[in-house]
Amino acid sequence: MNTRHSLNFAVAALLASLAIAHAQPNFTQVTNTVISDDIGQWVGCVWGDFRNSGYQDLIVCDYSGGYNAYYQNNVGTFTKITQGNPVQDADYHIYGGPGDYDNDGFLDLFITAGAYAPDATHNRLYHNNGDGSFTSVSGGGVTNQLGHYGACAWGTTITMDFWIYSWLITGFRMTMAVKTNCSIITAMARLRR
């Protein structure tokens, strides 16, 4: 490594350590809100700007066979949404993953289900209608396979030729969806435990 790169690295490391040393975040417990007062058997949550409002909305999954909770952020004040998907879709929900699978500029939602269910169940894929509301859609192998699914992760890669590769990992199963020109091709790959 030449001297110039060593010096730049040393300066960057010093500045980063100073920023970390002086960053002392303070947290205040927030009570008596629609979120803090809501009762449920919650296991996983997902934050995302589902309305493109510039504020993060919150979806919390109920693992007991009950209903999910959806809170829309209105400049720091949350409103609980009680109608439509995914809140009226009772099941053993576990985790949610936001991602724009159809590249329309709005975060869609994938929710896993079944990890604590007595019987195998289906994951859910919801298309964002552009206003923060969702429509349940079939995701082929992503939603048609019965199972006991747990945590999920959704990633997207955009290549230089503008192909979008999205993938979901749910428990020990990885599903890869390749999207081009509004068509989705799915391929399933079984991961070893």
Please tell me the distance from the alpha carbon of residue 87 to that of residue 82, in angstroms, as a whole number.
6
Centroid of chain to Cα 127: 13
- 87-142-190-92 Cα dihedral, nearest 10 degrees: 20
Q: What pLDDT score was predicted for residue 107?
A: 92
Q: Which two tokens stand for residue 77?
A: 């004040």
User: What pairing do the DSSP bridges indicate for beta strands 69-74 and 57-62?
Assistant: antiparallel
Taking only the tens place, the pLDDT of each residue in 124-153 is: 899 999 999 999 988 777 788 888 877 777
Beta bridge partners of 77: 74
**What size, in residues, is the chain?**
193
Q: What pLDDT score was predicted for residue 184?
A: 37
Please tell me the distance from the alpha carbon of residue 127 to that of residue 123, in angstroms, as a whole number.
14
Q: What is the pTM of this model?
A: 0.69
Average pLDDT of the chain, as a whole number: 74
Sites in the chain below the pLDDT cut of 50 = 1, 3-7, 159-166, 171-193
Please tell me the distance from the alpha carbon of residue 147 to that of residue 114, in angstroms, as a whole number.
6
